[in-house]
Amino acid sequence: MLRPLNTADHFTLMMDHEIRQSGLAGNFCALVFKLASHPDAEILSSRANAFVARFPETNVRLIQKGRRYFWQSNRDRKPSLFFHHTAETSEAGLDLIGDIINTATPATAAAPVAFHLIDMPGHSYFLLRWFHPICDAKGAELIVHHLLGDENKAEGEDAFAQLTAKWGVWKKIGMMYRAKRHIDSMDTISSSLPRTTAVVADRLKFHVMHFDNDTSKQIMARSMKEAGMMGTALYFIGCLMRALDRVGCDEGQGFCVPYAMNMRKRKALFPLLGNQVSFLFAQANLQQVRDRKQLFTSLREQYKATVRSGLDHALVPLMEAGSWLPLEKYGRIIRNTPKGRERSSFWFSYTGEPDPKLTEIAGAQVTSMFQLSQVTAAPSLGMLVSQYNGAITLSFNYVASQIAPEWLDALTKEMAAQLKGEETA
Amino acid sequence: MNDELKSFIFRELVHLPDATLFSDDDDLLEAGLDSMGIMRLVLFIEEKFGVTLPDEEIEPDNIQTLNRISSWIERHR
């Protein structure tokens, strides 16, 4: 049985191709929960088996037919999707997480989802690694929810397909050209990129920064004050733009950041699979970035104007057209300006609190969570923001050979200062 | 007005197993209305009711419940 990839799935498959072309493992992501003790591994193993039986569409592999890609059922093969590891120290546990996210598997052989438990003295990590074409970050959260629960499966709620089914051919063509004009107008500003140190990429690394509850509250209050109720994601983006500018980037005239806009209804437990997202860009020139007030006003106005004019949805037909191109050509068009320069200054994701709330996994209390995502080189840097019990976590994902440790250290310190509204020298 | 707002919120933005049980004084932010949803809701209100809602007034006091949103709209009519 074959199931076609939706347009947004295909977009992430194109990024898989681009990541591999950069010399990295592919478009693999992870959702990592830190646990206060050791959960029952047998329970997790049996739940993983039960999950695959309840959701057989997660037991698939990617195949190509002509220019199109499909998920093909693995129903005759029941691969184990649960892996139990042990590590002697916390540091070794984090290294293992690094190995898991960097394990290269060909796209056509990659398991769409796999669960890993890493036991260390006194605590554990539970990790879901997923192949991005199968679902987005919200879908990954829902997979963990359904792994641990027994809700019946709900059918026929593909938010992405429901949206695009409303549009006729001519409307799509009009939207596509509107989106293209929007991107052309952004390309008049060349993007500043993280200062890189080498040409050949090798391995994704990560640096996780947790803020305690009091500091997180202070950051969210400042976000509300400076970026408004609608601008939480924009606050994190704007602060990273300012932090990058302060620590120094490769030459450019401003920052351009793609970010996903989820089409799922909040609190809906389905759809589990499929990337149910469109995407938007946030852009600011250097003059705006250097004036904090002007930056957040400008990002908020830009966001409002983009949604008001329907440009968030207008990018969907553009992605649809792109999905008929060979992956290499599609990738070049999406990533590069006409002058051949990388458009994205960094990758960004903000998922907020897990919903439904997750307090324990197989008997072990969850204490924090963070996310990981492979990125292309360039820009070689992604920042994934999540919250757990109100506490904010920033996960900086970067290509090891491209980003100098001292530069990253300066960046993360500056980012913390920017979030708290502290002016640094 | 509240019925139209409620219909938009629970049809387009937030999933609730039974929206009829949601009262005009229940907390929309608790129900799951997030920053992206607020943006879409404000644009829906401006288009549907022909009002302009200033950005600086987009705050919990004006958004928290259907009744508060209605009062906010009325103040700008």
Number of Cβ atoms within 10 Å of the Cβ of A224 = 16
* Residues of chain A with C-beta less than 8 angstroms from the C-beta of B13: 265-266
Distance between alpha carbon B30 and the CA centroid of its chain, in Å? 13
Q: Which of the four pLDDT bands, split at 50, 70 and 90, describes residue A218? A: very high
**Contacts with A, B 31-50, CB within 8 Å:** 31-40, 42-43
> Is the confidence at residue A416, as pLDDT, over 80?
yes
- A345 vs A408: CA distance, rounded Å: 15
- CATH code assigned to A2-148: 3.30.559.10
Q: Which two tokens stand for residue A187?
A: 């390309």
Would an 8 Å CB–CB cutoff place B19 in contact with chain A? no
Percent of chain A whose predicted confidence (pLDDT) is above 70: 98
* Residues of chain B with C-beta less than 8 angstroms from the C-beta of A355: 32
> Is the confidence at residue A184, as pLDDT, over 80?
yes
Residue A109 carries which side chain, given as an amino acid letter? A
Structure confidence by residue, pLDDT tens digits, A61-93: 999 998 899 999 987 777 789 999 999 999 999
- The whole-chain average pLDDT of chain B stands at 93
Q: What is the CA radius of gyration of chain A?
A: 21
Determine the topology of domain A159-352+376-420 in CATH.
Answer: Chloramphenicol Acetyltransferase (3.30.559)
pTM above 0.90, yes or no: yes
- The whole-chain average pLDDT of chain A stands at 93
- Provide the β-strand partners of residue A211: none
Structure confidence by residue, pLDDT tens digits, A335-364: 999 999 999 999 999 999 999 999 999 999
**For chain A, what are the domain ranges?**
2-148, 159-352+376-420
Q: What are phi and psi of A393, to 5 degrees?
A: -125, 130
Question: Residue A6: is it exposed, middle or buried by C-beta count within 10 angstroms (0-12/13-18/19+)?
Answer: buried
Query: How much is the pLDDT for A201?
Result: 67
Structure confidence by residue, pLDDT tens digits, A252-307: 999 999 999 888 999 999 999 999 999 899 999 999 999 999 999 999 999 988 88
DSSP code of residue A405: H
3-state class (DSSP) for residue A117: strand
Nearest by CB to residue B63, choosing from A229, A267, A268, is A229
Q: Check: CATH 1.10.1200.10 for B2-8+22-75?
A: yes
Percent of chain B whose predicted confidence (pLDDT) is above 70: 100
Same CATH topology for A2-148 and A159-352+376-420?
yes
Query: How much is the pLDDT for A344?
Result: 97
**Residue B41: its H or E element:** helix B35-49
Query: How much is the pLDDT for A425?
Result: 60
Å from A265 to nearest chain B CA? 5
- A329 vs A322: CA distance, rounded Å: 9
Query: How much is the pLDDT for A361?
Result: 98
User: Which residue blocks in A149-291 are alpha helix, DSSP H?
Assistant: 159-164, 169-186, 213-227, 232-247, 286-289
CB contact set of A376 (below 8 Å; sequence gap of 6+): A15, A18, A19, A21, A22, A24, A335
